[in-house]
Amino acid sequence: MTAAPPVVDHATWRTTLDELRRREKAATRELDAIAAQRRRLPMVRLPDYTLTGADGPVRLADLFDGRSQLITYHHMWSDGAEWQCGGCTGFTSQFTRLDFLDAYDARFVIVTNGPITEALAYKAKVGNQMDWYSAAGTTFGADVDAAPGEGFAVNVFLRDGDTVYRTWHTNGRGTEQLSHTFALIDLLPFGRQEEWQDSPDGWPQSPTYSKWLDSPAVAGLYGPTA
Question: How does pLDDT run across 176-185, given as a tens digit for each residue?
Answer: 999 999 999 9
pLDDT band at 143; cut points 50, 70, 90: very high
pLDDT of residue 180: 93
Closest of 185, 191, 217, 188 to residue 205, by C-alpha: 191
Average pLDDT of span 4-33: 97
Amino acid at 134: S
Report how far residue 182's alpha carbon sits from residue 172's, in angstroms, rounded to the nearest whole number: 14
Does residue 1 have a pLDDT over 70? no
**Domains along the sequence of the chain with CATH:** 46-175 (3.40.30.10)
Does residue 130 have a pLDDT over 90? yes
Does residue 84 have a pLDDT over 90? yes
Does residue 123 have a pLDDT over 80? yes
pTM of the model: 0.95
> Phi and psi (nearest 5°) for 168?
-155, 155
Closest of 90, 58, 64, 60 to residue 76, by C-alpha: 90
The larger pLDDT score, comparing residue 19 to residue 3, is at: 19
CA atoms lying within 13 Å on the CB side of residue 215: 17
Share of the chain above pLDDT 90, in %: 97
As beta bridge partners, residue 34 has none
- The Cβ of residue 206 has, within 10 Å, a number of other Cβ atoms equal to 11
**Mean pLDDT rounded to a whole number for the chain:** 96
| Sheet strands (E) in 13-68 | 44-45, 50-53, 56-59
Average pLDDT of span 189-201: 95
Phi/psi region, residue 160 (left: phi>0; alpha: psi -120 to 50; beta: rest), is: beta
